[in-house]
Amino acid sequence: MAEKKKQHHLLLVASPLQSHINQCFNLAKHLTSSTGAAVTFSTTVYGHRRMFPSISVPQQEVNDGLITFKPFSDGFDVHGYQPESMDVKEYITALRTNGQRTLSTLVKDLAAGGRPVTCIIRAPFLEWVVDVAGEHGVPSVLYWIQAATAFITYYHFFHGFESIIRTHSVDPLFTIQLPGLQPLQIKDLPSFLTETSDNSPYAFFIDSFRELFQVLKRDVAVLMNSLTALETEALALVLSQRLKVFAVGSCPLASPGNMFKEDEKKYMEWLDTKEEGSVVYISFGSLSVMKKEQILEMVKGLKESKSPYLWVVRKDNKEKELLDIEGEEGDHDGNGMVVEWCSQVKVLAHRAVGCFVTHCGWNSILESLACGVPMVCVPQWNDQGMNAKLVESLWGCGVRSEINGDGVVKGEELVRCLESVMGDGEKGVEIRTKAKYVER
């Protein structure tokens, strides 16, 4: 009798960030359905508790029938990382020290329970996971959760272009030609590449990316949350660097548990009352915080545009910046609704949504593409400027807003962008058509 084929058991490790968790969960679902492998999903205890607030024990294992959720500890199980009281670099150091030890214990416990791990997959900024994999004699794989274009841009930065980019980092309009890519301006590059001040709280991220590319030499492969149809040239460029890369992008799914409590306002029912393609959906994601000036300009532009809108303003942003104008947005003739959090995929898939004003996080970009919704791009930092470039120049399914000297999109500029995307003119029709038929 032929020996029964051994089932693989994949351990997927993610940082306790909503965007990382969403993408890693989608990958986990994709892997269980396409390969039949068993998957254990692991983030920090604090992140695990926020995903599953009803569990009685912080480290309680959860199983949804296909995926097992089992956390590791970063040493901040109760309150998580608190940016107001701890330097981000100190936290990353603690995450590495505590995470390496507790994740190793988790791998041992899984083996002892008859579920030995056969491969560990990690999201970026968790390079210490490679050492855990080596300790237990299993292969490791990187899951790249940004665009392939961003990946090859980082690669070129560390392979010959660091000096010229740093030299011109303060000139947002300086154009640079990276091999195989369309010309890019400094403002299009990931912001970490142009952060030259050692005093910046984000300066150390460039060292993290440098470590990522050094560690890649020890990885089996790289999984990319993209599709060949979306980034044909960029993926070909990555493959040309003799890296084992697999594009594994798929239609976004619902997260198993939001780290933010969904607003109790009946926003889906409100959308049901609106005409098809009429609503402006606005969200700057789970990390970006709008300045008070930006909120005021956003209100000004929305009033002038007269378009109905659904606007996500997180509680942590709302309490600090929106309290004094809550009355204004509430008195907008019933034309708008502000919520603290919502199911973004459900909103984008609703027939009433005609435009997405987005910070251009990669997860939001993919969700908008999957739902065929055109975008007004308001990039903030990280890879978002590059994503905006892809939306406007490569796919043509949106426009990038202009900012003033303080980094704020003025109300009149928002009106211009909304008209470009949602108006009856030739440009608006073209953008909406491309949004619906971008290959994905």
Annotated catalytic residues are 20
Closest CA to 343 of 253, 432, 440: 253
> Apex CA 400: angle with CA 207 and CA 423, to 5°?
160
Q: Identity (one letter) of the amino acid at 349?
A: A
266: how many CB neighbours lie within 10 A of its CB?
11
DSSP assignment of 55-108 equals: -SSTT--EE-SSEEE--B--S-TTT---TTTS-HHHHHHHHHHHHHHHHHHHHH
To the nearest 10°, report the CA torsion of 332, 338, 344, 345. Answer: -40
Nearest to 382 by CA among 193, 152, 236: 193
Q: Which residue in 320, 349, 352 sits closest to 337, CA to CA?
A: 352
HSE-up of residue 427 (Cα within 13 Å, Cβ side): 10
CA angle in degrees (0–180, nearest 5) for 417-422-428: 85
Tokens of 121: 């997959």
Q: How far is CA 158 from the centre of its chain?
A: 23
**Are the CB atoms for 12 and 24 separated by under 8 Å?**
yes
Within 13 Å of residue 9, how many CA atoms lie on the same side as its CB?
14
